[in-house]
A = this chain, B = another copy of it.
Amino acid sequence: MSLEERRKSRVTLLDVARHANVSRATASLVLRKSPLVGSETRIRVENAMRDLGYVYNIGAARLRVERSQIIGAIVPNLTNPFFAELLSGIEGAIGATGKVVILANSGDEVERQEMLLRRMREHGVDGVILCPAACTEQALSDQIADWGMPVVQVLRHISRDLDYVGVDYAAGMRQAVDYLASLGHETIAFAVHGPIHSAYQERVDGFHDAMRSRALEPGMIIRFPAQLGDIAEATHLLFDQPKRPTAVICFNHIVALGLSAGLHDCGLTIGRDISLVGFDDVADAEAIRPKLTSVATGPVAIGEMAARLLVDRIADPDLPARHVVSDTILHIRQSCGRPDRKN
């Protein structure tokens, strides 16, 4: 009986048309706000829709028309607040166009990513915003081209043939290094962690380049554990170096949070005994003490921009590939000082 009711309650466009004394074609035109329909007719149909509780069936429409109004978003990690902000930007901008976003988490695994991509194709997504899992091969780009599926890469890239929106990581590293150098630091470490991908590589290369152009010794890359909980107790890695760094740049806000805690545990005062620069500048940067000087990358805006590019590409698949790289901003707060020459 509840099944009965539910079945009964499914009202179709034909029901609406009958109730309004028009043909189904006319009702369809009203639905899509065609100017072909007279206003009295339109109103009659709209009333019928309301009275009957009609709900448009996008899936059925999709069968005839080439738009599902669904786009996919694949990120490597959902619990990282940085990706949450990215997603927030994507969802906001896509939602504003009346489309809907299917969310998926690749966990940075290429097989899982492959499965998700297939699932999304089965759902007929109009396109996807992809932050490629680490170790994704460039060949994926050819596959995507074969499929004829609009894709924009975000934050990480695997091919120049696809649209891309990301961050000018090299410039960000230069800002950090220049700032520290201006305070007198010469021995600067770059504390990294996590899987290797384009954004990782660009940061590392950017660090080396920035150090070189300041005529500083490059090369002090120190790898920390992937999990926030393990970073603090690995802080000693900083001091196991041949030359002890007076300043450290963090790969992202997770490393910054971990080291900020770990240095505190070592009895060091950040900003006096050692300088710390964060990267990504999510909300925490303001909240930890001392306030963290940080390179801001604006994840929400990046998500919005990626959404915009995807919408454009769906509208015109033959557009040449675009690559937009956004500027970083160094927010100077309280976590850096002059080097302590005693060390």
Contact = CB atoms under 8 A, between A and B. Distances in A.
B258 A287 contact: yes
A150 B148 CA distance: 35
A238 interface: no
B283 A55 contact: no
A123 to B, nearest CB: 5
Interface residues of A, number: 65
Contacts of A111: none
Nearest to A53: B146
A78 interface: yes
Contact of A59 (B120, B123, B257): B123
Interface in A273-287: 283-284, 286-287
B91 A103 contact: yes
Contacts of A62: 59
Contact of A100 (B9, B84, B120, B146): B120
Interface string A111-138: 0000010111111100000000000000
A291 B233 CA distance: 13
A59 B68 contact: yes
B56 A286 contact: no
A63 B9 CA distance: 16
Contacts of A300: 79
A102 B56 CA distance: 17
A98 B116 CA distance: 10
Nearest to A232: B287
Contact of A78 (B6, B57, B91, B98): B91
A95 B78 CA distance: 13
A254 B87 CA distance: 20
Given A119-B100, A283-B229, A287-B260, A78 B87 contact: yes
A317 interface: yes
Contacts of A318: 2
Contacts of A85: 78-79
Interface string A138-158: 000000001010000000000
Contacts of A264: 289
Interface in A147-183: 148
B59 A124 contact: yes
A57 B258 CA distance: 46
A55 B260 contact: no
A83 B85 CA distance: 11
A228 interface: yes
B81 A148 contact: no
A70 B123 contact: yes
A2 to B, nearest CB: 6
Interface string A87-104: 110011001001011111
Given A102-B101, A103-B87, A148-B5, A122 B55 contact: yes
A63 to B, nearest CB: 6
Across chains A and B, which 4 residue pairs bring their CB atoms closest together, nearest first? A84-B84, A78-B88, A6-B148, A103-B103
9 contacts: A58-B123, A69-B123, A79-B85, A81-B81, A88-B105, A92-B105, A228-B286, A260-B287, A261-B287
Given A9-B146, A100-B104, 5 more contacts: A57-B124, A98-B119, A100-B102, A102-B102, A232-B286
